Structure 1
Amino acid sequence: MNEDKSPLRPEWRQWLAENLALGVEQEDVHRVLVAAGVDPALARAEMAAVAGHPYFKACLQVARHFGWMESLMDVYSELRAQDGGRELEVRERIAPEEFFQRYYFGHRPVVLRGMMEDWPALTRWSLPYFRERFGQVEVEVMVGRDADPEHAALQDRHRARMPFAAFLDKVEAAEQTNDFYMVPRNDNWRRDGLSPLREDLRAPRGIIDPGLLPDMMTLLLGPAGTVTPLHHDNMNILLGQVLGRKHVRLVPSFERHRVYPHRGTFSHVDAGKPDLVAHPLFAEATVLEAVLEPGDMVFLPVGWWHWVKALGVSASVTFHHFLVPGGNTHLEAPF
C-alpha cells in the first residue's frame, strides 16, 4: 500500500493500524471510520490494505508479544479486584508502617485524612492571604491552555511570568476555565519571595522527608475548571489538598493498554468525558474516584494514571521525597 496515495488522512491511518493491532474488532473499527465521514467502501479497502501490508504484519508480531504481557496484567487486575481493588480506600490517621506496607510497597492508591491537621496553611491560605503577603512576587504560570489540546505535554510553549497579584486577579475573575494554571513544573518554590509559604506546611510524620526543600515539593493553584488530563507520573506522589475541592479519577498502572497512551505518559482518553466509540477499550478500565476536600491527601503510586479537575478555586501541594531506603521508585521510559 502506498500511503502517499491513500485518501485517508494520516492520523486516521495511524488510528486504524493501531486499533487493528490492538485486536479491536474490525466491525467496530469500520463503524468508527464511517461515523467520522469515511466512505464505507473506502473504509473496507483501507482496512484490507493495512492488514496485508508487511509493516503491519511486523507490527502485529510485536503486538502479540505485548499481548502476553497485557494478559498477565489482566490477571493482576482481576486479582486486585478480588482484593477490593475496585474502590479507592480512605484511611484516617494511618501509621507510617501501614502506609508503606499496604500502599507504597503494595502499589495501591489511598486517600488519607487527618494527616494535615497541623498545617497552618489550612486556615491561612486564601486569595487575599496570597495577595497581601506575596502579591509583588513574580511567579511562573501556564497560559493559553484552551487553544492547545497538547498543553500538558508541551508546557514550555505556555510558560509565562507575571506578578502573583496579577495571576490572583485572573483566578478571582474567572468562573470556570482551564486556560491558565500554576502547575507542578515550575520553579516557584525556589523564589525567595515565596519561601515563607513553606512555613505553612508540615511533612506527614514518618512518611515524607521533613526537610521540605524547594525541590522536594510542588505547588498547584488555579481557578475552578482547571483540568490535569489523564496521565501518569514516573515516581510516587503524595498530593495534599489545601484550598478548595478536587475531583480525581485514577486508573491502575497495570491497565495501561486500556487508556490509549500518548506521548509516553499521557492518554488520548478524556477521562472527564470518555469517548467510548473512539476508545472502546477504556470501557474495560478500572476507574477509581474521589472528591478531595481541604485537608485530604491522596497517594498516587508510580505509573498510576490520574485525571484531576478543580471544583472551585484550588491550591494543592505535592511531595515526592518519601522516607524509604534508596529514595523514590522511578519508572524509566523504555525508549
Structure 2
Amino acid sequence: MSTDESRLATEWQVWLVENLSLGVGEEDARRTLMGAGVAEDVARAEVARALGHPYFQACQRLGRRYAWMESVMDAYSSLHRQAGRDRALEKREGLSAEEFFTHYYYGHRPVVLKGMMGDWPALGRWSLSYLAERAGAAEVEVMTGRNANPDHAPQAEKHRTRMTFRDYLKMVASGGETNDYYMVPRNENWQRDGLSPLREDVRAPAGIIDPGLRPDMMTLLLGPAGTVTPLHHDNMNVLLAQVMGRKHVRMAPSFQRHLMYSRYGTFSHVDAGKPDLERFPLYGEANVVEAVVEPGELLFIPVGWWHWVRALDVSASVTFHHFLVPGGNTYMPEPG
C-alpha cells in the first residue's frame, strides 16, 4: 500500500488514525470525512492509505497489548449501567462522614452533599459588593483572554493577568455572560494575604476535611455566568463547595477514559456542553451523569472522574483536597 503524502489536513489525519485504531468502522470514518467536506474518492483513498500505513499497523499492535484493560473497563461500565445508574448525579442530605467515606470516597463515586454548609458565614454574606468591601484592594491573578484560545485551560501560562480584586469584581458585575475571564485554582489567590478576610467566612466540612484550612489547603473559583471548565479530570479527589450562584456539572467515570478522547494528559477533545458524536462517537457510550449544584451544596469529584462545569450565574466556589483519611488524599500518578 502506498504511503504517499496524505491529502487531508494534519488534524484530520490524526483524527482518522486515532479513530480507526479505537475501532471506528471504515464506513463510519469515510462518512465523517465526507461530512467535513472531503470528496468521496479522497475519503476512500485516505482510509485505505491509513489502514495500509506501517505506522498505523504498529499502532494497532501496540494497542492490542492494552486491549485487555479496556475490556475490563467496558465490563465494569456494563455493570455500572446494569446497577441502574441514571443520568442524574446523586444528591444526599444528612449524610454522616463515615457513610461519605465508605460509599463515596472509597467507593469512587461522585455525590452532591446537601445541608453541610449551614455554619458557613460566607453563605449569608458573600456578594460582589461584600467581597469588594472586605478585600477589594488585594492584588489577585485572573485568567483572561480565554475566548481567543480554545486551549486556554491546558495553556494557562498564556492567560495570567494581575489586577486589583475590586477591578475584577467590576468586570464580573458589568460584563454579562462570558467565558473570557475567570479566577481558577491555578491562580492560587487564597494564598495572597489580601484575601485573608474572606477565608474567615469558610468552614471545613466536619469530619470530612482537615479543619486546619491553611491557605494552601483551599482554592477559590470566581467568575461571571457563562464560564466553562472544559472536560478534564483531576489527579486527586476534590470537594467543591458552591457559595454563590449555580453550576451545571456533567461527569463521566474514570474507568471510561478510553471513551474520552484525551489530550494533554488530563483534558478531552470533547466539548461536553454540546458533544459532536460524529467526530467523537465513543463518547456517546459514556455513562455521563449531571446535576445543577446550588449554593450551599458540596460536590465530591472522585480522582480521575471526568467533569465539565458551566456557571449558570455569577458564581463563587471553594475547593478542598485535604481529606481526613489515613495517608492523605488519593493521587493518580502522571504517566512516565
2:66 maps to 66
Aligned to 1:11: 11
Amino acid of the structure 2 residue aligned with 1:139: V
1:205 is matched with: 206
Gaps (5+ residues) in structure 1? none
Distance between the aligned counterparts of 1:263 and 1:244, measured in 2?
Answer: 30
Measure, in 2, the Cα distance between the counterparts of 1:81 and 1:38. 37
Which residue is 1:130 aligned to? 131
3-state secondary structure, aligned to 1:273: coil
Residues 1:43 and 2:35 are matched in the alignment: no
SS in 1 for 2:169: helix
> How far did 1:273 drift?
0.5
Residue equivalent to 2:247: 246
Query: 1:84 deviation in Å?
Result: 3.6
What are the superposed Cα offsets for residues 272-328 of structure 1, whole Å, 9 maximum, x if unpaired? 001111111111111100001100011000000000000010000000000011111
* TM-score with structure 2 setting the length: 0.97
CA shift digits 1:175-209 (9 cap, x unpaired): 21000000111121111110121110110111000
Q: Secondary structure at the match of 2:300?
A: strand
| Amino acid paired to 2:220 | L
Cα deviation, 1:237-264, whole Å, max 9, x if unaligned, reads: 0000000000000000111111111111
CA contact (8 A) 2:244 2:316 kept: yes
Is 1:33–2:30 an aligned residue pair?
no
In 1, Cα distance between the equivalents of 2:32 and 2:82?
A: 34
- Map of 1:151 onto structure 2: 152
Counterpart for residue 320 of structure 1: 321
1:131-185 CA-partner distances (Å, limit 9, x unpaired): 1111111100000000000001000100000001110111011221000000111
Deviations 1:10-66 (A, max 9, x none): 111111100000000111110111111112111111111111111111100122222
Q: Name the residue aligned to 1:300.
A: 301
2:197 partner amino acid: P
Q: 1:24 to 1:65 in 2, by over 3 A?
A: same
In 2, Cα distance between equivalents of 1:191 and 1:131: 15
- Once the two structures are superposed, residues 74-97 of structure 1 have per-residue CA deviations (whole angstroms, 9 ceiling, x without a partner) of 111122223343342211121111
* 1:67 aligned partner, one-letter code: A
For these two proteins, the number of residue pairs brought into alignment is 334
What displacement does 1:67 show? Answer: 2.4
Percent of residue pairs bearing the same amino acid type:
65
Which range is displaced more, 64-73 or 110-119? Answer: 64-73
Paired with 2:91 and 2:84, the residues of 1 have a C-alpha distance of 12
Q: CA RMSD in A?
A: 1.1
CA distance in structure 2 between the aligned counterparts of 1:43 and 1:194, rounded to whole angstroms: 57
**Alpha-carbon distance in structure 2 between the residues aligned to 1:248 and 1:35:** 30
Q: Secondary structure at the match of 1:185?
A: helix
**SS of residue in 1 equivalent to 2:77:** helix
Residue type matched to 1:331 in 2?
M
Q: Tell me, what secondary structure is at the counterpart of 1:307?
A: strand
Question: Which residue of the partner structure matches residue 57 of structure 2?
Answer: 57
Looking at structure 1, the residues matched to 188 and 302 of structure 2 have their Cα atoms a distance apart, in angstroms, of: 23
**Correspondence 1:279 to 2:300:** no
Aligned AA (2:215): P
Q: How far, CA to CA, are the matches of 1:214 and 1:90 in structure 2?
A: 28
Superposed displacement of residue 104, structure 1: 0.3
SS at match of 2:58: helix
Q: CA deviation at 1:69?
A: 1.0
| In 2, Cα distance between equivalents of 1:320 and 1:85 | 26
| TM-score normalised by structure 1 residue count | 0.97
After superposition, the C-alpha distances for 1:66-124 in whole angstroms (9 at most, x for unaligned) are: 22211111111122223343342211121111110100000000000011010000011
Q: For 1:235, what is the secondary structure of its paired residue?
A: coil
Partner Cα distance (2:241, 2:206) in 1: 14
| C-alpha contact 2:3 2:49 (8 A) present in aligned 1 | no
The equivalent residue for 2:238 is 237
CA distance in 2, matches of 1:134, 1:217: 17
1:2 Cα deviation after fit: 4.4
Distance in 2 separating the partners of 1:317 and 1:151:
21
Contact 2:135–2:198 (Cα < 8 Å) also in 1: no
Contact in 1 for aligned 2:131/2:198 (Cα 8 Å): no
